Amino acid sequence: MTMIKNIVTIKGKKDGLVFQLDDVCSLDELYAQLKEKVEHSHQQILSGPPVEITIELGNRYLNVEQEKELRDIIGLRPNLVVRTLESDVITKEQALLDKLASIMRVEIGTVRSGQELRSEGDLLLLGDINPGGCVYCAGSLFVMGALRGMAHAGCNGDEQAIIAASQLRPTQLRIADIISRPPDEWMDGNYEMEFAYLEEGQMSIDKLNQLHRLRSDYFRDKGALGNMGGI
């Protein structure tokens, strides 16, 4: 009789459940066993009232589509609520932001409606910019959160500055003297980290992992990319 390797381990803890997922097997194999367990096993703990779960990925990174598939499998049980996905692997985007945090001004908190935040250089904001909130900086702006208000980078005329955010949903963006497109054009359903930049006098948007291609010289001069293998 062939024994099936256990690549999905479900453990209970005080405030919910932990799903430990093997980080060596193929993703198809992993998802197949996860679906089997969610649908047909652990009936006592996977049914009943809502329960929060933490998913431990180990040394595995999931892109947006793979994470959605994982969440869809967990969603087969309506009472299971994914609280966090934990991975020992950091993305290139996170590595860049960690480096930037060591060389620029860092602010923690939410810029709420009616509030303004100003910086004379580059700024890393660990929080959200709510609608009606405004951020102005002479350099580039990185928002580890949702940008739903107004942001102006390069406000002293620096056309090489960028504006990046975990969720880029602004009411308005400005880089130097260039103003962004209308806000309704931002709602494309994409939740990957993006950045805005100027190209030939027009504002453009791209995924943050393309930053090295468009602004490598600018950020290498600041020391952000010097020891990161040209992220």
Report the CATH number at residue 112. Answer: 2.160.20.70
pLDDT at 228 over 50: no
pLDDT band, residue 88 (cuts 50/70/90) = confident
Do 97 and 77 have their domain in common? no
Do 109 and 218 have their domain in common? yes
Do 75 and 35 have their domain in common? yes
Q: List the structure tokens of 67.
A: 């994470």
Q: Residue 226 has what pLDDT?
A: 47
Do 144 and 46 have their domain in common? no
Q: What is the tally of structural domains in the chain?
A: 2
Domain membership of residue 230 (yes or no) is: no
Domain membership of residue 52 (yes or no) is: yes
Q: How far, rounded to the nearest angstrom, does the alpha carbon of residue 195 sit from its chain's CA centroid?
A: 12
DSSP 191-231: -S-EEEEEETTEEEEEEGGGHHHHHHHHHHHHTSSTTTT--
Do 25 and 49 have their domain in common? yes
Angle among Cα 162, 187, 138 to the nearest 5 degrees reads 20
Final residue before a domain boundary, out of 46, 70, 87: 87
pLDDT at 141 over 70: yes
Q: Domain of 42?
A: 8-87
Mean pLDDT of the chain: 82
The radius of gyration computed from the CA coordinates of the chain, to the nearest angstrom, equals 21
Do 37 and 126 have their domain in common? no
pLDDT at 183 over 80: no
Do 101 and 195 have their domain in common? yes
Q: Residue 104 has what pLDDT?
A: 80
Residue 134's identity, in one-letter code, is C
CB 125 within 8 A of CB 143: yes
Q: What global pTM score does this model have?
A: 0.54
pLDDT at 225 over 60: no
Per the model's pLDDT, the better-predicted residue between 10 and 133 turns out to be 133
Report d(CA 137, CA 118) in Å as an integer: 6
pLDDT at 190 over 80: no
Q: Residue 128 has what pLDDT?
A: 95
Q: Residue 189 has what pLDDT?
A: 52
Distant-in-sequence, close-in-space partners of 171: CB < 8 Å, separation ≥ 6: 131, 132, 148, 149, 150, 183
Final residue before a domain boundary, out of 87, 112, 130: 87
pLDDT at 208 over 60: yes
Report d(CA 72, CA 45) in Å as an integer: 19
100-112 pLDDT per residue, tens:
666 688 899 999 9
Per the model's pLDDT, the better-predicted residue between 138 and 227 turns out to be 138
Nearest to 166 by CA among 214, 94, 98, 81: 94
Final residue before a domain boundary, out of 87, 113, 140: 87
